[in-house]
Chain A
């Protein structure tokens, strides 16, 4: 048995190149636990789909090993890997009814009609499509089609299901509805899901862990909370949610914190990686963690700012500020005090706590692999 306990899927030193020159996936190491919902999140072309295709068996790693249940699947063709897969364009067989589509993997596995009928009934019930067995895929709405596709990927009870941007073709409302649906199903069946998306909200809603991809590498693997609250890379800080990114220079280091000079002002920040005075860093501050007119006891970082633009967005106000000559500093303040508390053109003091300000690697530096 493998030494990694209940690792379901392992990527070990996987590289993939289509043309022998540029790597679309570089030195990938990733472990997915049994029953885990892991999302591969990244912009298009970041290598996440290639990873999924290698796992499914449609692509071969150029180097490195992929293991499922501790066994290398290098020579295993897709149809013997026993994993369910949901595709972006549903890929429902148009010449078969819904029942026929669900029956297909069961027939392949030699189940008798009795067992098939029971499994199909249960699978359709699970995706709340009872009674649509006789319909053709073309007679269903997009959302229904994707539910059928999910049911088909689960009906033969695989322990691992791959999903390749399954909600990409649906409208926003349906997408949200299905996110919760998929989460519910995954939790109740305890299957392992590897899910590919470029939509961070989708990743946040469903995942146990998120692997953020960029240019063929994993920038960070962590829970959705950690990805948002504790980005370890500038790319993650920028890609997930909104962040103010300020270039600065380290002037002093004190334990976990460091002093950074930005545009003539000195602020304190949480240092993510070891650094020395004189190092260039990028500071990341979430707009909603910035306080306007702060209490200096709590918010030790304080700066002068001028409100250049103000947008009322219902539950919060979005302010664009000029901070020490940079006019792209965004602040979100919750709509507690009511509209009119601050006005465009106001000069205010803003502040944030050192732990809400993360010192990440500077622009232009190639990151180290984690």
Chain B
């Protein structure tokens, strides 16, 4: 009996398996790989095992002993042979800027030397940097397989000379201000969406039935249009020689030389993203408003409440599940938004995702990109948890 029941249950689970597999392969696995990459980097450790082993006994202050230099020379040349040197050097250079030229120059010279009594003297001769403790500290730190340095970097922190964690110099703090800006921009976009979307949803929800579909279509058609087309049309509208500026100049409201910069800056990002994300606010709001009978507003009127009062005390509180759902949806989408700021954000309108993309594609610092993504993911989780505490996720209505 029990066995049959189990078989039935198993059979019922079969249709879900492809979905589970799909999520595993396309979502969970990449995410996990990414997060691992942010703390695990075996490249340097693999390329310079002996140097690192010997450095582990070093006191960290004096110049290391001859054996360390000997091993380093051998392993750097070996890495060059294995066409690995560039990647190793890039990593060391990230920890100690300037090390790229020191190492590359030295390796070039080393190729022409067959042997030496003291590699220590030879290298220090080539570049005095080899005689400095911080050079070797940098190599030792780059050699850690498991490292928090990407996260420290992403949080604008650094290891101080004593090994303790200190803040970056103010001019080198990039990521935290950017994250702060991303959160602030997402918040304003959410507020704008709510401001614009609420009346629209109200209109649709309470319009005569025959209008409902048409109005919904108007909300959805932009949704179905290519993101690029929509973004490009914003460029047409907002650019310095665009429709709006032309119109303002033609009306004499602004002078020809004072055309307003509305795109390729933060304004462009906010305007275009608000437009793109608006349906995510309107639809949850609509689905909640549709379920609120007009009866309540009538009842409030018979109790003596004017429309604004009835709206504020009776209607608005009942739409809160939709407000919460729409806001959370828009906010979380906005935090991770990439394409629109990339196209219309210019330099000042970039968000954290554009920085992640930069590290993925340009600087090839995947560890840092992963750490930034990890922090972003954490932000979303924290926001979700705060939301759950303040609002209660069960009070939300997504559809």
Contact = CB atoms under 8 A, between A and B. Distances in A.
Contacts of B295: 87, 89, 91
Contacts of B307: 79
A235 interface: no
Given A58-B298, A89-B295, A108-B309, A94 B318 contact: yes
A151 to B, nearest CB: 12
A52 to B, nearest CB: 11
B298 A95 contact: no
B18 interface: no
B303 A152 contact: yes
Contacts of A77: 301, 306
B313 interface: yes
Nearest to B306: A79
Contacts of A108: 303-305, 309
B276 interface: no
A226 to B, nearest CB: 31
Nearest to A100: B313
Contacts of B299: 85, 87, 91, 93
B26 interface: no
Nearest to A77: B301
B317 A95 contact: yes
Contacts of A79: 300-307, 310
B315 to A, nearest CB: 10
Contacts of A91: 293, 295-296, 298-299
Interface in A54-73: 56-58
A156 interface: yes
Contacts of A84: 302-303
A105 B318 contact: no
Contact of B313 (A58, A104, A109): A104
B301 A105 contact: no
Interface string A141-166: 00000000000110010000010000
B314 interface: yes
A91 B303 CA distance: 11
B305 A104 contact: yes
A78 B309 contact: no
Interface residues of B, number: 19
A30 B272 CA distance: 60
A89 to B, nearest CB: 6
Interface in A83-122: 83-85, 87, 89, 91, 93-95, 104-105, 108-109
Contact of B302 (A94, A109, A153): A153
A137 to B, nearest CB: 11
Contacts of B317: 95
Contact of A82 (B293, B298, B304): B304
B159 to A, nearest CB: 53
Nearest to B316: A95
Contacts of A80: 304
A78 B300 CA distance: 9
Nearest to B309: A108
Contacts of B310: 79
Contact of A105 (B293, B296, B298, B304): B304
A87 B303 CA distance: 12
Contacts of A57: 301
Interface in A21-61: 56-58
A156 B318 CA distance: 24
Interface string B307-335: 10110011001100000000000000000
Interface string B18-47: 000000000000000000000000000000
B318 A78 contact: no
Given A108-B303, A156-B304, A78 B313 contact: no
Interface in B170-210: none
A93 B314 contact: yes
A83 B305 CA distance: 12
A106 B295 CA distance: 20
Contacts of A58: 298, 301
B304 A56 contact: no
Contacts of B293: 89, 91
Contacts of A162: 302
A89 B296 CA distance: 10
Interface in B76-90: none
A365 B354 CA distance: 82
Interface in A294-351: none
Nearest to A152: B303
Contacts of B300: 79, 93, 104
Contacts of B306: 77, 79
A57 B301 CA distance: 9
28 contacts: A57-B301, A58-B298, A58-B301, A77-B306, A78-B298, A78-B301, A79-B303, A79-B310, A82-B304, A83-B302, A85-B302, A87-B298, A91-B293, A93-B300, A93-B318, A95-B317, A95-B318, A104-B300, A104-B305, A104-B314, A105-B303, A105-B304, A105-B305, A108-B303, A109-B304, A152-B303, A156-B304, A162-B302
Which 9 A-B pairs rank lowest in CB-CB distance, beginning with the nearest? A105-B303, A91-B299, A85-B302, A78-B301, A108-B304, A79-B301, A95-B317, A91-B295, A108-B305
Interface of B: 293, 295-296, 298-307, 309-310, 313-314, 317-318
